[in-house]
Amino acid sequence: MTDVKPLHTFRYVTFDVVGTLIDFEGAITEALADIARREGREIDGEAALSVYRDARYDPEAQRFPDDLGRCYGRIAAALHLPDTPEHRQFMIDAVGEAKPFPDSLDAMAKLKARYKLIAMTNARRWAFAKYEEKLGFPFWASFTTDDTGTEKPDPAFFHQVFAHVEADGGTKDDILHTAQSQHHDIGISRKLGMTNAWIQRRHAQAGYGGTIEPTEFTEPDYHFHALIELADAAEDAFHA
């Protein structure tokens, strides 16, 4: 950790959801493994995530998780799986039902007791509604791509959240932005002058998995390997 604003001084914590709270990579690889088993085959999950990541760079990429159908076409071609409309919809549905990471519910419950929690997700509202329920409805406010009309790392997404916080009597300086994606969150939050916490979910794995690789690495203000580490650090800060 760097010498930054103490955790007990924030009023709000904003969250990336998919990849930080919800294990979308696990949902992708499990769904692909299920399709492969029906064909009597096995797949390399990391190889599949690499294809998915590259597909998300495409100009024709759609909103998450609807884009899983299109991305499956790329994955199927690369891994020699059958590409059917049924399989494409299966992938969309599977990722729409992605589960929280094992520590997410406990961590969010602890953080909710200390801060106003705000979801900032590149997922569509229909998928976020499922994720929010699985997380135990911890959020004070939520912003999806359907609400903002744009996706992170577009600064316009963040500015809509700033306006909401300002209407509540807060400021950007009262927010701790928490995320696993360097590309979508950590880099842009630094450029916008926010304090951030990087939850490095893939700390024990090489590469960026299903998340777009950043053009440059941003050193975070706070760095944890799991969300529960942030929640515990916040508890320690409030009791210090």
Report d(CA 193, CA 5) in Å as an integer: 12
For residues 1 and 221, the answer to whether their CB atoms sit within 8 Å is yes
Radius of gyration of the chain (CA): 18
Q: Residue 137 and residue 36: Cα distance in Å, rounded?
A: 34
Say how far apart CA 153 and CA 186 lie, in whole Å.
9
Catalytic residue at 174?
Answer: no
User: How far apart, in whole angstroms, are the C-alpha atoms of residue 159 and residue 177?
Assistant: 13
- How distant, in Å, are the alpha carbons of 17, 158, 175 from that of 26? 14, 27, 29
Contacts of 93 (CB under 8 A, 6+ apart): none
Q: Please pick, among 3, 16, 83, 146, the residue that the annotation labels catalytic.
A: 16
Q: ∠ CA(224), CA(226), CA(229), 5° rounding?
A: 65
- H/E run at residue 119: strand 116-120
Residues with a known catalytic role: 16
